[in-house]
Amino acid sequence: MNDKKLLEVKDLKVSFFTPAGEVKAVGGITYDLNNGEIMGIVGESGSGKSVEAYSILGLLQSPGKVIGGSVTFEGEDVLAFDKRKMESFRGNKVSMIFQNPMTCLNPVYTVGNQLIEALRTHNRTISRAQAGQRAVEMLKLVGINNPEKRMKQYPHEFSGGMRQRVMIAMGLICSPRLLIADEPTTALDVTIQAQILELMKDIQSKTHMAIIFITHNLGVVAEICDKVSVMYAGKIVEQGSVNDIFYSPGHPYTLGLLRSMPRVDAQEYERLIPIEGTPVDMLNPPEGCPFAPRCQQCMKLCLQKMPPYVELGGGHRAACWLRVQEQVNGVDTAGRADSGEADSHA
Amino acid sequence: MMSAEHMKKYPIGNLQPDVESLLAWNEVAPADFELASAEEKKNFIAQRESVSYWADAWRRLKKNRVAMVALGVLGLLLLFAFAGPFFIPYAYDETSKTAGNLYYYHYTLEEQAAIEEAMEAAKSAGRRDASQKSIARELGISAKPFGYSVQELERIAAGEAVFPHILGTDTLGRDILVRVMVGTRMSMVIGVCAALIVLLIGATYGAVSGYAGGRVDTVMMRIVELIYSIPEILVVLLLVTSLKPIIDDYLLYHPETGIAKFIAVIGPSILSIFIAFGLMYWVSMSRIIRGQVLQLKQQEYITAARALGASGGRIIRRHLLPNCIGQIVVTTCLQIPSAIFLESFLSFLGLGVSAPLTSLGSMASDALNGIYTYTYRLLVPAVVLSVMILSFNLFGDGLRDALDPRLKK
Amino acid sequence: MRENYLIEVQNLKKYFPVKGMRGPGVQAVENVSFGISQGETLGLVGESGCGKTTLGRTILRLYEPTQGRILYRNEPIFDSGDLPVVDEAGRESRSRPAAVNMLPYRRKMQIIFQDPSASLDPRMTVGEIIGEAIDIHRLAAGKRERTEMIRELLYQVGLNTEHANRYPHEFSGGQQQRVGIARALAVKPEFIVCDEPISALDVSIQSQIVNMLEDMQKELGLTYLFIAHDLSVVRHISNRIGVMYLGCLVELAESYELNRNPIHPYTKTLLSAVPVPDPQVSRSRKRIVLEGDIPSPMNPPSGCRFHTRCPYATERCKQEVPPFREHAPGHFAACHLLD
């Protein structure tokens, strides 16, 4: 296992300068990723999870701009890439697949054509015939039967799940070290989602590439991810291994999410405990912890100052004054014993 | 937490968080929490200023310089047409035997005498090319602005204040500027009325056709296509010429009815124009509205209205048409210049407004006679007409961009 | 079948003829029969093309059914008799079912839509949207009563009554959905079709709406047909669950029973495919992953429509449509392998 960190994001800040004002979409997030790790970024709409992924690949469109922080990939400063460097970086070292496969494939080119183009953009020396062969291999890898025949077909002849597989093939064709998947299964049926997740797990175990998996679905995160970052209102509120997040959540938002989700394997009726309130208006984010107005355990301090990260052990950290209080007093006010009960299974 | 008292205070699905139980968890005095609750409440519902659709569109429109200039020009034309005549003491149909055929410039009485002399001299010297202007130039006399007849100049010399004929007069001595103003007014009114007729018929037809769908829609659209294929100008010409005797007859035998009075005012030709518009020009509006309705029909709020039991008429009136209002406004606005053009064209042919009413088209037509000597008499109404049509078109375009829902957000 | 169903559906078919194509077209709902008792929540799950949304809207006659019977308190609101309204070739048959005036039923049966921003007229204020329901059925004697009713409804769904003259776009998704619910409640219905009411909402808001729907059901004695693709939520809120695949009802059982003891192969696959927010459970369970894609409802497979993907398909499954029968008390399924 390579010790060097693959991706390091430090205090990344992204804002959108709209006519209505500055929307601080991402307010300073820090995380890192090693080779072969699958990290899940969980958040709702408006949490900034997609925006920060776009900024890694320089895909932000105005009025969005990176206004602070750094992104380092294999030691290089990605934000400082010029146009040329960025073009050779995208699709090659780091690939991205998107939520809606319907709109991400060009309808006037055959699938094979698009795959070949993806490959030859980064590898000028390879001939069309060789590129074609590699494309066929990729289609086989992602589980599309009759790849030679399907190469010549157009995107509209593929179903949703198939198109997503084609997208994955396109993303993987240059053997990237990192794949960013932005809600890749959200638009798919649940059985197709299961197929795609199995596929991704399978490919990852073969190629050992790292994956950043952006989603709002905690079930998917539980299934595929090694580490998890929970984002709320443009900030990472909790980070840790998947077991830490699910079995000992350190942030009230994470806890709230877990308690408000019904489980398909529950044995009896349990009333859901929702998170009250509505998501934050990013145009005027409040002072202090963005989750405070909705938090059951909100303290006066939470409304005034943004809490710092507290290390909870083993790379698990949460930004919450309650955890700070605990560390200071040695007292457990989180009621995590409750959550332990709710999540334990027979 | 779920006591009956609690339930009463916080009804089902309440958005307000349970402040009381929050207090139980905290180390802070309740008084200090006052701040938090107010703040929390504020954060719940989007406090962004409510921007209505029109305010938003107006903001976009303001940014469009061309459209704003066009709007300004239209405003000026409106003032010109409706308020202008109040400043000029001549009526548009006031003829004058002595003040006929005046230019927009004049020479003083002494200058005129001098020019006469010189012209006599030139004629007897055999020069053929001696015109008033050339002689004046030779003599070094420059023209003074505005037109005055000889009689008027004499009256001025006598000390009377006489309002000038700013653009001169026509053959019958009527002041041209006033006639241009009245003509513009006429063109605008006809344009707007015709556009409204188109709007009423076209929008209703299109909405009903689009909402009904199926065979009804097909039949209605075939009719539209039929009408489309007929050359409109020919029909209008036909209507105008064939309706004239009928209307004249009607006026003769039923002069007391309200309709007769109305027709008498506007003239049979204008009535024919309105009828022609009502018969033919609404088709493009109906197509546009039908297109919009077909799209909107698929929207879920229409299904929701149906699920509530709303009748078709109610849905068209309260859901479909209000949501088409952007298209309606724009298309109507762009219909006005076509109507104005048509009316001018007809008047030019002599089939439009009847004397003494005037319109820009008929003024242009009148001006054809003296086109070489009195060129400006054609230019002035033509320029005003062109500017008016251009401004309506540019403004309509700008309006379309501003109201385009795709650009919203 | 029990006689005291609030709403009952018998052999319901809904086909959408496709222009320019012969044949029945899109066979969205194929021969579905079930009943819902008063006060019950029947959940309906399935993936794309299963016809659950079509079914929900067809029951309300927002789409005209092709064939079958729909009974409300044993009164037929649609009965095509034995003759189809649209025959196999997509042509309309000359015999039409007796017309039923739906207006009184529109009061008793209502619907909540998936996308709240699309189901609210953007040009009307929230008060007008709710008021329309009151106006159509003339539920208020005068203007003051109408305003009072609107305020009461807004309060009931947890919205600020002062916001009756705001436009939908000024509210968040969750609030818009509450407006949609208020509108449905305005006519005081007995039966509500919930067509994916939470799918378009943020995760943290979904449970608020779910709780609200549950509370309203208890307080107002409502009956729900809860349609969703998220099996976890459906399982939570429903008393019984029906599983649909490509227009057919393949299994119907009490919700916990369905979870403990699914008997149709498709149900088993579906259950194993639903992600569980619990890493240990998620990674330790056996996943049944199906091959291939969901066929198109325009061209459904013969016999049992699931046979193309079923790991246990036999020759009989290809030929014969399996009957939807009771295999255990209250537990129905359509599968040849269970005989």
Residues of A (253-312) whose Cβ lies below 8 Å from C: 256-258, 260-269, 271-276, 278-279, 294
C317-325 long-range Cβ contacts below 8 angstroms, 24+ apart: C324/C33, C324/C248, C324/C249, C324/C252
Q: Which two tokens stand for residue C36?
A: 């819902």
Instruction: Please give, rounded to a whole number of angstroms, the shortest distance from the CA of C175 to a CA of chain A.
Output: 9
Q: Which helix (H) or strand (E) holds B187?
A: helix B176-212
Question: How confident is the model at residue C83, as a pLDDT?
Answer: 62
pLDDT tens string B315-374: 988 998 888 888 888 888 888 888 888 888 888 887 777 767 788 888 888 888 778 878
Q: Which residue of A has its CA nearest to B42?
A: A293
- Cα Rg of chain C (Å, integer): 21
pLDDT tens string A111-165: 888 888 888 888 778 888 888 888 898 888 888 888 888 888 988 888 878 888 8
End-to-end CA distance of chain A: 36
What string of DSSP letters covers A121-159?
Answer: HH-TTS-HHHHHHHHHHHHHHTT-SSHHHHHTS-GGGS-
Please give the C-alpha separations between residue B313 and each of B211, B263, B316, B321, C64, in angstroms, as whole numbers.
9, 34, 5, 11, 20
Mean pLDDT of the A228-244 span: 92
**Distance from C-alpha of B120 to C-alpha of B129, rounded to nearest angstrom:** 12
Torsion angle in degrees (nearest 10) through CA of C26, C30, C35, C39: -30
Task: Please indicate whether residue A42 or residue B274 has the higher confidence score (pLDDT).
Answer: A42
- CB count in 10 Å sphere of residue A233: 24
**Which position has the token pair 């407006």?**
C179
**Distance from C-alpha of B180 to C-alpha of B84, rounded to nearest angstrom:** 10
What string of DSSP letters covers C54-105?
Answer: HHHHHHTTSS--SEEEEEETTEEEEE-TTS-SB-TTSPBPS--PPP---HHH
Question: How confident is the model at residue C332, as a pLDDT?
Answer: 93
Helices (H) and strands (E) in chain A, counts: 14, 12
Decide if C86 contacts C26 (C-beta within 8 A): no
How many Cβ pairs closer than 8 A exist between chain A and C?
Answer: 143
Measured N-to-C along each axis, helices B325-349 and B268-276 cross at an angle, to the nearest 10 degrees, of 140
**Distance from C-alpha of B402 to C-alpha of B71, rounded to nearest angstrom:** 14
| φ, ψ (nearest 5 deg) of residue A79 | -70, -20
Please give the C-alpha separations between residue A166 and each of A140, A191, C234, C273, in angstroms, as whole numbers.
10, 17, 32, 21
Question: How confident is the model at residue C181, as a pLDDT?
Answer: 94
Mapped onto helix, strand or coil, the DSSP state of residue C303 is coil
Instruction: Please give, rounded to a whole number of angstroms, the shortest distance from the CA of B197 to a CA of chain A.
Output: 40
Q: Is B171 exposed, middle or buried (0-12, 13-18, 19+ CB in 10 A)?
A: middle
**Distance from C-alpha of A315 to C-alpha of A39, rounded to nearest angstrom:** 13
Residues of chain B neighbouring A299 (CB-CB closer than 8 A) = 26-28
Give the closest residue to A210 by CA, choosing from A110, A302, A74, A318: A74
Would the pLDDT of C333 be above 90?
Answer: yes
Q: Which residue of A has its CA nearest to B34?
A: A300
Residues of chain A neighbouring B35 (CB-CB closer than 8 A) = 300, 303
Q: Which two tokens stand for residue B328?
A: 């309606």
**Which position has the token pair 């921003």?**
C117
Would the pLDDT of A211 be above 80?
Answer: yes
Give the closest residue to A112 by CA, choosing from A82, A140, A150, A79: A150
Mean pLDDT of the A19-28 span: 84
**Contact call for B17 and A299, based on CB within 8 A:** no
**Distance from C-alpha of A250 to C-alpha of A320, rounded to nearest angstrom:** 8
- Whether B82 and chain A come into contact, CB under 8 Å, resolves to no
Q: Which residue of A has its CA nearest to C171?
A: A278
Give every CB contact of residue A129 below 8 A, 6+ residues apart in sequence.
Answer: none
Give every CB contact of residue B19 below 8 A, 6+ residues apart in sequence.
Answer: B33, B37
The full set of domains in chain C, from first to last, is: 1-104+241-339 (3.40.50.300)
Would the pLDDT of A301 be above 90?
Answer: no
Residues of chain C neighbouring B301 (CB-CB closer than 8 A) = 118-122
**Distance from C-alpha of A66 to C-alpha of A80, rounded to nearest angstrom:** 11
Mapped onto helix, strand or coil, the DSSP state of residue C240 is strand
Q: Taking every pair of C-alpha atoms in chain B, what is the biggest distance, in angstroms?
A: 121
- β-bridge mates for residue C36, sequence order: C7
Mapped onto helix, strand or coil, the DSSP state of residue C288 is coil
Residues of chain A neighbouring B26 (CB-CB closer than 8 A) = 297-300
Residues of chain A neighbouring B33 (CB-CB closer than 8 A) = 300
Question: How confident is the model at residue B64, as a pLDDT?
Answer: 87
Mean pLDDT of the C154-160 span: 88
Q: Which residue of A has its CA nearest to B46?
A: A281
Would the pLDDT of A346 be above 50?
Answer: no
Give the closest residue to A291 by CA, choosing from A230, A341, A339: A230
**Contact call for C278 and A345, based on CB within 8 A:** yes
**Distance from C-alpha of C229 to C-alpha of A45, rounded to nearest angstrom:** 20
- β-bridge mates for residue A316, sequence order: A313
Decide if C307 contacts C301 (C-beta within 8 A): yes
Please give the C-alpha separations between residue A265 and each of A192, A338, A343, C226, C236, in angstroms, as whole numbers.
20, 19, 12, 19, 10
Instruction: Indicate the residue type of B12.
Output: I
Question: How confident is the model at residue A332, as a pLDDT?
Answer: 52
What's chain C's average pLDDT?
88
Residues of chain C neighbouring A265 (CB-CB closer than 8 A) = 259, 276, 281
Beta strands in chain A (DSSP E): 5-18, 21-34, 38-42, 64-73, 76-77, 94-97, 178-182, 210-215, 227-232, 235-241, 309-313, 316-319
Which pLDDT band, with edges at 50, 70 and 90, does C52 fall under? very high
**Distance from C-alpha of B54 to C-alpha of B63, rounded to nearest angstrom:** 14
Q: How far, rounded to the nearest angstrom, does the alpha carbon of residue B191 sit from its chain's CA centroid?
A: 6
Would the pLDDT of C89 be above 70?
Answer: no
- Whether A221 and chain C come into contact, CB under 8 Å, resolves to yes
Mapped onto helix, strand or coil, the DSSP state of residue C300 is coil
- Whether A297 and chain B come into contact, CB under 8 Å, resolves to yes
| φ, ψ (nearest 5 deg) of residue A9 | -110, 125
Residues of B (17-76) whose Cβ lies below 8 Å from A: 17-18, 21-22, 25-28, 32-33, 35-36, 39-40, 43-48
Question: How confident is the model at residue A117, as a pLDDT?
Answer: 87
End-to-end CA distance of chain B: 42
Residues of chain B neighbouring C170 (CB-CB closer than 8 A) = 46, 48, 50
Instruction: Indicate the residue type of B109.
Output: L
Residues of A (56-95) whose Cβ lies below 8 Å from C: none
**Distance from C-alpha of B307 to C-alpha of C184, rounded to nearest angstrom:** 9
Question: How confident is the model at residue A105, as a pLDDT?
Answer: 85
Q: For chain B, how are helix, strand and coil distributed in percent, rounded to 5?
A: 70, 0, 25
pLDDT tens string C176-231: 999 999 999 999 999 999 999 998 888 888 999 999 999 999 999 999 999 998 88
**Distance from C-alpha of B156 to C-alpha of C7, rounded to nearest angstrom:** 96
Instruction: Please give, rounded to a whole number of angstroms, the shortest distance from the CA of C235 to a CA of chain B.
Output: 20
Instruction: Please give, rounded to a whole number of angstroms, the shortest distance from the CA of A166 to a CA of chain C.
Output: 14
**Contact call for B301 and C102, based on CB within 8 A:** no
Instruction: Please give, rounded to a whole number of angstroms, the shortest distance from the CA of A124 to a CA of chain C.
Output: 35
**Contact call for A263 and C277, based on CB within 8 A:** yes
**Contact call for A274 and C207, based on CB within 8 A:** yes
Q: Which two tokens stand for residue A18?
A: 């709209």
Low-confidence ranges of chain B (pLDDT < 50): 1-47, 407-409
**Distance from C-alpha of A64 to C-alpha of B255, rounded to nearest angstrom:** 72
Q: Which two tokens stand for residue A219?
A: 């079930």
Instruction: Please give, rounded to a whole number of angstroms, the shortest distance from the CA of A296 to a CA of chain B.
Output: 6
Q: Which chains touch C (3 or more CB pairs under 8 A)?
A: A, B
Instruction: Please give, rounded to a whole number of angstroms, the shortest distance from the CA of B15 to a CA of chain C.
Output: 6
Q: How far, rounded to the nearest angstrom, does the alpha carbon of residue C104 sit from its chain's CA centroid?
A: 21
Would the pLDDT of C243 be above 60?
Answer: yes
Decide if B1 contacts B21 (C-beta within 8 A): yes
Q: Which residue of C has its CA nearest to B15?
A: C158
| φ, ψ (nearest 5 deg) of residue C310 | -80, 130
**Contact call for C202 and A276, based on CB within 8 A:** no
Decide if B343 contacts B187 (C-beta within 8 A): yes
Give the closest residue to A28 by CA, choosing from A52, A11, A50: A11
Residues of chain A neighbouring C265 (CB-CB closer than 8 A) = none
Please give the C-alpha separations between residue B299 and each of A68, A265, B293, B323, in angstroms, as whole numbers.
42, 37, 10, 11
Q: Which chains touch A (3 or more CB pairs under 8 A)?
A: B, C
Instruction: Indicate the residue type of B101.
Output: N
- Whether C208 and chain A come into contact, CB under 8 Å, resolves to yes
Q: Is A61 exposed, middle or buried (0-12, 13-18, 19+ CB in 10 A)?
A: exposed
Question: How confident is the model at residue C224, as a pLDDT?
Answer: 95
Q: Which two tokens stand for residue A104?
A: 């991400």
Question: How confident is the model at residue B306, as a pLDDT?
Answer: 92
State the pairing for strand pair A178-182/A94-97: parallel
**Distance from C-alpha of B174 to C-alpha of B102, rounded to nearest angstrom:** 10
Residue from the list A246, A271, A274 with its beta carbon closest to the beta carbon of C279: A246
